[in-house]
Structure 1
Amino acid sequence: MNQSAPHRARKRFGQNFLHDAGVINRIHRAIAPRDGQHLVEIGPGQGAITEGLLASGARLDVVELDHDLHPILLAKFGHLPNFSLHKGDALKFDFSSLAGEQKLRIVGNLPYNISTPLMFHLLKQSACVEDMHFMLQKEVVQRLAAGPGTSHYGRLGIMVQYHCHVEHLFDVGPGAFSPAPKVDSAIVRLVPHGELPYPADDPGMLERVVREAFNQRRKTLRNTLKPLLDADSIAAEGLDPTLRPEQVDLAGFVRLANRLARQAKTDGGPA
């Protein structure tokens, strides 16, 4: 590869490279990396955020899929003792393999096309994660942080909030990237709960209840959850069966899921 030629963002990787120095500095301040910490950057691209993370003295592992970027990253940072490059797909990467006694701080300007599956992949490994700071499509961040009764509240936010405290930090306009995306972006901070505030007896059951509820979000719980729970069962958990799914908080969905899990064990109900 000709190192003098600029790398062109690849549409199939959903690449939009961050170049705005003010935004980069603001991201660094939000993350506040320190010497002695262990950071992991997903999709470092051409290293816009990488440089400041390394300057903190923190140990940094980066995971990059685009093989054309590997020599660029190695030329810039390969000589630094606190830098390691992992060539591969973050969706298949075992992040827990990097963690020792110290938890990981994960950072990434995530491609829009893989952001949701990647977050769920990371949540499965959240026991080894201290926090996560991601650049995402603004609408996705709004959905992650939304509370009940709002238009952005739904399955994604509920399932991520089950595992993490979510904080919408700040927005980033299209002009901060090259090429400029057609949508606004935002920075979100996800901090896995040390202890789940509303533990589900069966997290898979919670996922199922939330999915069924929001398949038809304009209908009532009585209708959307009919295949799983009847109106009396919903009411027994302190919820009005005529509520719409968007009016039910995380604690309410966990109560419904726990009831369904108990029901499946005792009377051969839905498994």
Structure 2
Amino acid sequence: MSQIYQHRARKRFGQNFLHDTGVIDRIIRAISPRAEQHLLEIGPGQGALTESLVNSGAKLDVIEIDLDLVSILKVKFALAPNFTLHEGDALKFDFARLDPAPASLRVVGNLPYNISTPLIFHLLDNAHLVHDMHFMLQKEVVERMAAKPGGGDWGRLSIMVQYHCRVEHLFNVGPGSFSPPPKVDSAIVRLTPHTELPHQAQDARALDRIVREAFNQRRKTLRNTLKNVLPAEAIAAAGVDGSLRPEQLDIAAFVRLADQFTALQAAESP
């Protein structure tokens, strides 16, 4: 038996290895990698997707944190001239070191559930480098990303991802496609950064702050959840009804609130 199949999935890395060839082929078709492109795979694991990505002829960088898997990947793809392996934590990785052209990096990953949200926020901070992203995620995370205002899934993740990207929930994947099988369903999502932001905030950090504050107590009205950062008159000046709950607001309304916050901060600065 090869060393690859002797590797045991590690809970601390949230490892569930994709083995379903039908699902693998469907993901590769969705990505449709081409030789002239620059791809980045996060957490390649045992190389289920990596082999097809390498065979596409695209320039492929991969990031892997598990040293045992690093050894396996080095052996498996050592002779591929278009393959570069980076050992380390994707949450701390500086994507600019790959020297991609603006909006060129195509990011792929079967992301561990325990780091998926912070990793996506890390990538959103580098959205100017990214052409698109294809991720395997927990199905409920994808549903939150693709949610619309007014429902229980609408929240910080929905707003901040959709502020930066177009979200497409492509298809679902059952637990049996993985080893070991996870206890939840998974889904493939495509995130494509907007070439022009539909609703551009003066300061994206201010938007994130306002959205965080608003959803810290999502059952309360905006007047109450934002009282520490925006007075009632500033909420009204943004054209927002302070008696609404945060889940009732669309992205444009949150951007107007963020811009009010930015203006207040500027006025208070010496």
TM-score of the two chains, using structure 2 as the length reference: 0.95
Identity across the alignment (%): 67
C-alpha contact (below 8 Å) 1:146/1:153 kept by paired residues: yes
Match of 2:155 in 1: 154
CA distance in 1, matches of 2:5, 2:240: 61
Q: Letter of the aligned partner of 1:257 in structure 2?
A: A
Match of 1:62 in 2: 62
Q: Letter of the aligned partner of 1:256 in structure 2?
A: L
Whether 1:143 aligns to 2:158 is no
Q: Letter of the aligned partner of 1:152 in structure 2?
A: D
Whether 1:29 aligns to 2:68 is no
Whether 1:187 aligns to 2:196 is no
Q: Letter of the aligned partner of 1:129 in structure 2?
A: V
* Equivalences, count: 268
Match of 1:109 in 2: 110
Whether 1:207 aligns to 2:208 is yes
CA distance in 1, matches of 2:130, 2:120: 12
How big is the shift at 1:238? 1.9
CA distance in 1, matches of 2:127, 2:178: 29
CA distance in 1, matches of 2:92, 2:40: 15
How big is the shift at 1:3? 3.0
Q: Letter of the aligned partner of 2:15 in structure 1?
A: Q
CA distance in 2, matches of 1:73, 1:4: 9
Long gaps (5+) in structure 2: none
C-alpha contact (below 8 Å) 2:106/2:132 kept by paired residues: yes
Whether 1:129 aligns to 2:154 is no
Q: Letter of the aligned partner of 2:259 in structure 1?
A: N
Whether 1:221 aligns to 2:227 is no
C-alpha contact (below 8 Å) 1:99/1:128 kept by paired residues: no
How big is the shift at 1:114? 0.7
TM-score of the two chains, using structure 1 as the length reference: 0.95
Q: Letter of the aligned partner of 1:127 in structure 2?
A: H
SS of the residue aligned with 1:107? strand
Aligned in 2, Cα 1:241/1:4: closer, same or farther, shift over 3 Å? closer
Match of 1:94 in 2: 94
How big is the shift at 1:132? 0.6
CA distance in 2, matches of 1:202, 1:66: 37
CA distance in 1, matches of 2:100, 2:30: 24
CA distance in 1, matches of 2:258, 2:220: 19
CA distance in 1, matches of 2:209, 2:88: 31
How big is the shift at 1:5? 5.9
CA distance in 2, matches of 1:104, 1:79: 23
Query: For the aligned residues, what is the CA RMSD?
Result: 1.6
C-alpha contact (below 8 Å) 1:39/1:105 kept by paired residues: yes
SS of the residue aligned with 2:114? helix
Which range moves more in the overlay, 102-111 or 228-237? 228-237
C-alpha contact (below 8 Å) 1:210/1:253 kept by paired residues: yes
CA distance in 2, matches of 1:185, 1:100: 30
How big is the shift at 1:108? 0.3
SS of the residue aligned with 2:79? coil
Match of 1:252 in 2: 253
C-alpha contact (below 8 Å) 2:4/2:46 kept by paired residues: no
Whether 1:72 aligns to 2:75 is no
CA distance in 1, matches of 2:113, 2:9: 14
Structure 2 counterparts to residues 4-43 of structure 1, below 5 A: 6-43=6-43
Q: Letter of the aligned partner of 1:22 in structure 2?
A: G
SS of the residue aligned with 1:100? coil
Q: Letter of the aligned partner of 1:118 in structure 2?
A: L
